[in-house]
Structure 1
Amino acid sequence: MVTILSLIIILLIGIILLQFYNKKVRSRSLAYLHKKLQSILTTETSERLLIVTDDQELKSILIAINHLLDSNHKIKATYDRTEDSMRKMLSNISHDLKTPLTVILGYIEILKIDTSLNDKEKEQLLNKLQMKANEVLELIHKFFDLAKLESGDKDIQLTKINVSEICRKNILSYFEHLTMNHFAVDINIPEKDLYALGNEEVLDRILSNLLSNAITYGVDGKMVGVSVKEHGAFISIDIIDKGKGIDEIHIDRVFERMYTLEDSRNRIYQGSGLGLTITKRLVEALGGEIHLKSRPYEKTVFTVMLRKISY
């Protein structure tokens, strides 16, 4: 009896000591976690918490904290990129508005102080003033358009649209300009009408942006093409040229807001760095996708994918 009682007491003491040891280990681990977590948050590193333990509850906490740290790191990286983008945007807005405004002020100064100007010369200066003022106004509209698209304030109604007809209309609107400037025009649009979910006005603007882009940057290749095809549940629209193209290292960035590489096609609107960004946002507003493939001086293709609708 005494032996059994002694064994029970020893067992209880062992359990108490084990619980005490586990509690001490857990307290030490929690203290380390707190200290390490504070250090990670203070120094803003991308470290993760690593502790070898058999404590399942502690493991669950570690996994959850590491998920939060990963999420926080991604959010911070996105925030840093956005801040950098905004700084570039403000710098570009300042530069792009300053240039035409300086010219405008110069013309006004001439009109004020040069009394020798005749009526014809004054009219020419006023026409130049109007042209530069319109340039500033157009640029401001582009900035506001992008702001509306990115904030979701621009209401775009989606309906069934005739992609074939819209593409024919847009390439034909440039046909005379292209032929007068000795461009070869390659039109590959099927005779049957293809329909997609979209908005005609928005698709007109997308195509206008991309065709203007192809003409401006494809001038060396003297070729612009439009191709419309069915791809399963989608309709693809290819805008093609054979100009200077875009190097592979820049392809992933040309749609970024305010990406202003001097040789990039994203400087459509007087160097504002908004052209392809606005185009991409418009495509996304239609529930579509836009992709780019480019081999400089061989073939550059912007592909717009829209969701197909049955006839």
Structure 2
Amino acid sequence: MKLNIKDFLRILVDLVLGLLIFYAVFQTASFLANNYLYNFPEIRNYVWMMRRNFGTDSFKIPIILLATGLFIAWTIVRIRKYMEQKQMEQIISELHYIAKGNFHHKISIRPNGSLGNVVDSIHALVQSTLDAMEEERRLEQSKDELVTNVSHDLRTPLTSIIGYLGLIEQKKYRDEEQVKQYTHIAYEKAKQMNVLVNDLFEYTKMRNRGAHVNKVKFDLVELVEQVAVGFRVAAHEVDLVMRVETPDHKIEMVGDTDKLVRVLENLISNALKYGRDGTEIVIRLFLHEEGVVISVANNGRQIPAEALPNLFDRFYRVEGSRSQETGGSGLGLAIAKSIIDLHQGSMIVDSNKEWTTFTVWLPIKITHSS
């Protein structure tokens, strides 16, 4: 921080005033010494000794030394106080600048001591405010995207339902067989809407801070094997071999079995849906780093590398279309990821020319209530 001429003049005036004050104190001390202290024999003898050694005939030397020391200390304190005052003025000025909306501005000075800690705290507060604003902006954008995506996904089947039911209402059909065809199409579209609404409800419930885990103790090996059995027929129908590799012993853990079953069902159904051009699906379960790993892999079509970071985003579909036939609601993996987060675990995906693998890590015990 640079000082201008005005600052130097103010410091000079302070020093001059200090000199005048200390001169008055010095003269007062000399007067008291000459008129009162000399009445004490011990002090008078000490003064005579000082006269012989320093050639002075008054009791001024110790007073001069004391006054000089006090003046130097006072000068240092005054200059330091003045510098702190200037620093505080600059900090306040920059705070006003930040308060006008310039939240990315950093205070240009960082004094030593407690004032420096104040500057650090201000920077931390401003950064937390920026983070909160960014999070709020992201949430608002997320809400807008949610409304847009839901509207799009609901409008498509709803248009078909209204269209076919309208044809029936207006009697624009050849015979009863065509009426059955129209009602069947409307029914299938209504089921698609029901899937989307249910998935949307489940997703919002999972993302809600009030969502919790109904913790029970269970055998994960048995759970995985039971879920896998339910898909063997579906795998056989599309000529896929399903292999389940689990330990020979139990793996007892604590978690919400209903939610974990939904995760497994989503991963296996996705493997069936997108791995049809492969030959097998492999489900593995093993202990790893104070937790347990569940992986679901298929050797079907590779997921493009650019799509991997977005797989767990809601309404994201790899094929880039919004076809309900293959894309579902686009919420399955987002729901699964939310469930794993509730269980304090993690979920990742890897895809290459040989295998596409979804890997879930879960702790054996949840450390706190979710």
Range class of TM-score, shorter chain: 0.7 to 0.9
CA offset at residue 44 of structure 1? 4.7
Query: Deviation per CA, 1:29-68, whole angstroms, max 9, x where unpaired?
Result: 22222232343454454443341433x1211112222222
Give matches, 1:201-220, under 5 Å: 201-220=258-277
**2:95: which partner in 1?**
37
Residue 51 of structure 1: SS of its match in structure 2?
coil
User: 2:198 aligns to what?
Assistant: 141
Aligned to 2:118: 61
TM superposition outliers: structure 1 runs of 4+ over 6 Å: 264-269
- Residue-pair matches, total: 306
Cα deviation 1:8-47 (Å, max 9, x = unaligned): 4444444444333333322222222223234345445444
Which ranges of structure 2 fall in alignment gaps of 5 or more residues? Answer: 1-58, 366-370
1:97 aligns with 2:192: no
Q: Aligned pair in 2 of structure 1 residues 276, 266: CA closer, same or farther (>3 Å)?
A: farther
Percent pairwise identity: 22
Distance in 2 separating the partners of 1:205 and 1:275: 9
> Deviation at 1:288?
2.8
* Distance change in 2, residues 1:285/1:148 (3 Å): same
CA 1:260–1:282: 2 relative to 1, 3 Å: same
User: Judging changes above 3 Å, is the alpha-carbon distance between structure 1 residues 265 and 120 closer, same or farther for their aligned structure 2 residues?
Assistant: closer
User: Map of 1:230-269 to 2, 5 A cutoff?
Assistant: 230-256=287-313, 258=314, 260=316, 262-263=318-319
Give the CA deviation at 1:95: 0.8
Higher relative contact order (CA 8 A, sep 6+): 1
The reply on whether 1:195 has 2:252 as its aligned counterpart is yes
Q: 1:115 to 1:299 in 2, by over 3 A?
A: closer
Residue 206 to residue 136, structure 1, CA distance change in 2 (3 Å): same
Counterpart CA distance in 2 for 1:44 and 1:100 is: 48
2:333 alignment partner in structure 1: 276
Change (3 A) 1:73 1:246: farther
Could you tell me whether the CA contact under 8 Å between 1:164 and 1:193 is conserved in 2? yes
Deviation at 1:259, TM superposition (A): 6.1
CA distance in 1, matches of 2:270, 2:321: 7
Contact 2:110–2:119 under 8 Å retained in 1: no
* C-alpha distance in structure 1 between counterparts of 2:259 and 2:109, whole Å: 54
Amino acid at match of 1:301: T
- SS of 2:348's partner is strand
RMSD of Structure 2 on Structure 1 (CA): 2.9
Deviation at 1:75, TM superposition (A): 2.7
Residues 129, 304 of structure 1: alpha-carbon distance in 2 compared, 3 angstrom cutoff: same
**1:154 CA displacement:** 4.1
Contact 2:195 2:329 in 1 (8 A): no
Q: Specify which of 343, 357, 367 is matched with residue 301 of structure 1.
A: 357
- Give the C-alpha shift of residue 167 in structure 1: 1.5
The structure-2 alpha-carbon separation of the partners of 1:181 and 1:132, relative to structure 1 and needing over 3 Å to count, comes to: same
For 1:47 and 1:124, locate their aligned partners in 2 and report how far apart those are by CA, in whole Å.
66
Q: Identify if the C-alpha distance between structure 1 residues 180 and 52 changes in structure 2 by more than 3 Å, giving closer, same or farther.
A: closer
Instruction: Give the secondary structure class of the aligned counterpart of 1:28.
Output: helix
Q: Classify 1:181/1:75 alpha carbon distance in 2 versus 1 (closer, same or farther; 3 Å).
A: same
Structure showing greater radius of gyration is 2
Q: Which residue of the partner structure matches residue 237 of structure 2? A: 180
Of residues 275, 283, 297, the one that matches 1:226 is 283
Which stretch shifts more, 139-148 or 213-222? 213-222
8 Å CA contact 2:303, 2:318 repeated in 1: no
Q: 5+ residue gaps in structure 1?
A: none
The structure-2 alpha-carbon separation of the partners of 1:303 and 1:181, relative to structure 1 and needing over 3 Å to count, comes to: same
Match of 2:78 in 1: 20
